[in-house]
Structure 1
């Protein structure tokens, strides 16, 4: 086993520490990126992006490199810390992300896009690119959003109730393949014991959240906070009375929505409408 490394100032930022550790381990072996790619089985450009901090990759790459470098669990741990690091997010979202990671249960209503916790990589990339991100910033924000899914992938994930406006399921991606993957992911996630998914179909009339996304988080201390957002503003709501009023509105919307079984059938029917991309 390699000797324990001294703690240095570079360990204070998880994403940079992960990248620097990868560079250091490869340098110790005297390997080029191409030689590492040949030995570990990934493309050299992937390792280049990992080592310059442009992307974090997935857990399977961290696990494979742990095995290759004989650093059991080190790189996977650094990867998990980097993915969960709230400083990846824009400043106005950081406090919310910390609370989300600690939540005991979650409820969400989504107006036009799937909840971030349920988005696939293809959806995340197109959504962020449509917002003007590109290059390294785009790669980093894709990693940051996908990293939020750790909340639902733990051994004891919190209950998560989701209401999707039908508009979420009608606002497809440019790539039929990516859109099919997103819909299939929603179906799979709806089958998990801790996730309850409702669809609010068109024709149910106006309601108090008609243009507002809202997420509720029940915290360890028993408090519930909310994050409400529309095209013009976003706000973390912590005052008990305001949260309670929002929650009553959410409950009224849930009463209009399809049951979980009906919602799953609804999404499966929409999947049938997605054209199959021609095989090459």
Structure 2
């Protein structure tokens, strides 16, 4: 049986190792020389294009001087490379969830990203004020809020590249008040601006679209030129990444269904503009009162 090609765990492990190398202050060349590896081998590992053994990971962690809990977590992932699926839990809110780094890496490698967000504007489209208002409402600490705002702002730079980004937004996500009227109005204006980018498509799924599988879950699909697609499913305090076809196929089927019931880009833009104007007028009326 031929070896299994690198999948989601290889990408996650590679992203984590790249962060460790950079924190150690080593260039790719310096690290490969210290480990007595070929530079191209380490590069392929960091970009998730090469499978790696636990012994090789242990060697690299020694070069990077990684110790303690971080080493334990990386080695635990390395030892389960052949197991399908994995949970990326965020154990605290003071800093970034561990999966945020991996997700940013995936987004940087993807050629197409599709987001389904039935109740909340997705992170790649959120304004900083909207993010802060929502995180405050969830009880996130000030330190955790600012780190996540900064991370989302950095992730959003991907929308200015050649990646194709398609966002299906539930109508409820547009109408939900996050922060005051002015914050929500600015968020809607930002959606209109993002929708004007040539690589971004924003389509609204109306509340009367009828039953569909997307009503059950929020998710993100990422497609790559030479690796299996990845699906990220968001939960309350954790996320799950999947790259097995039997796991990801239902989500791609759901995307097809969303495309059938969603408004067109033009219709969506008109609805967003209408809701923005109403919120702006409401905010102005309150300030005059």
- TM-score > 0.5, shorter chain as reference: yes
Aligned counterpart for 2:128 among listed residues 121, 127, 135: 121
Contact 1:211 1:230 in 2 (8 A): no
Question: Which residue does the alignment assign to 1:147?
Answer: 154
Q: Judging changes above 3 Å, is the alpha-carbon distance between structure 1 residues 194 and 250 closer, same or farther for their aligned structure 2 residues?
A: same
Shift of residue 204, structure 1, vs aligned partner: 1.3
Map residues 71-150 of structure 1 onto 2, 5 A cutoff. Answer: 89-150=96-157
Q: Judging changes above 3 Å, is the alpha-carbon distance between structure 1 residues 89 and 97 closer, same or farther for their aligned structure 2 residues?
A: farther
Contact 2:170 2:205 in 1 (8 A): yes
- Paired residue total: 196
SS of residue paired to 1:223: coil
Shift of residue 230, structure 1, vs aligned partner: 4.2
SS of residue paired to 1:210: helix
Question: Which residue does the alignment assign to 2:167?
Answer: 162
Question: Which residue does the alignment assign to 1:265?
Answer: 270
Shift of residue 158, structure 1, vs aligned partner: 0.5
Q: Which runs of 5+ in 1 are unaligned?
A: 1-8, 15-87
CA distance in 2, matches of 1:194, 1:150: 12
SS of residue paired to 2:103: helix
Shift of residue 119, structure 1, vs aligned partner: 0.3
Contact 2:96 2:147 in 1 (8 A): no
Cα distance per residue 1:80-132 (max 9 Å; x no partner)? xxxxxxxx631244323321222111111101111100000101111111222
CA distance in 2, matches of 1:185, 1:101: 22
Higher relative contact order (CA 8 A, sep 6+): 2
Contact 1:128 1:142 in 2 (8 A): no
Question: Which residue does the alignment assign to 2:201?
Answer: 196
Shift of residue 233, structure 1, vs aligned partner: 5.7
Aligned counterpart for 1:12 among listed residues 23, 26, 38: 23
Superposition TM-score, scaled by structure 2 size = 0.63
SS of residue paired to 1:193: coil
Shift of residue 231, structure 1, vs aligned partner: 4.3
Superposition TM-score, scaled by structure 1 size = 0.64
Shift of residue 214, structure 1, vs aligned partner: 1.1
Structure 1 runs of 4+ aligned residues shifted over 6 Å read none
Contact 2:130 2:179 in 1 (8 A): no
Point out the more displaced range, 115-124 or 130-139. Answer: 130-139
Q: Which runs of 5+ in 2 are unaligned?
A: 1-19, 26-94
CA distance in 2, matches of 1:141, 1:161: 22
Instruction: Please say if 1:229 is aligned against 2:240.
Output: no
CA distance in 2, matches of 1:206, 1:93: 31
CA distance in 2, matches of 1:196, 1:180: 20
Contact 1:111 1:211 in 2 (8 A): no
CA distance in 2, matches of 1:190, 1:183: 11
SS of residue paired to 2:146: helix
CA distance in 1, matches of 2:235, 2:213: 13
Shift of residue 180, structure 1, vs aligned partner: 0.9
Question: Which residue does the alignment assign to 1:183?
Answer: 188
Shift of residue 232, structure 1, vs aligned partner: 7.5
Map residues 54-65 of structure 1 onto 2, 5 A cutoff. Answer: none
Cα distance per residue 1:167-214 (max 9 Å; x no partner)? 101111232111111000001111111011110111111210103111
Q: CA RMSD in A?
A: 2.4
SS of residue paired to 1:172: coil
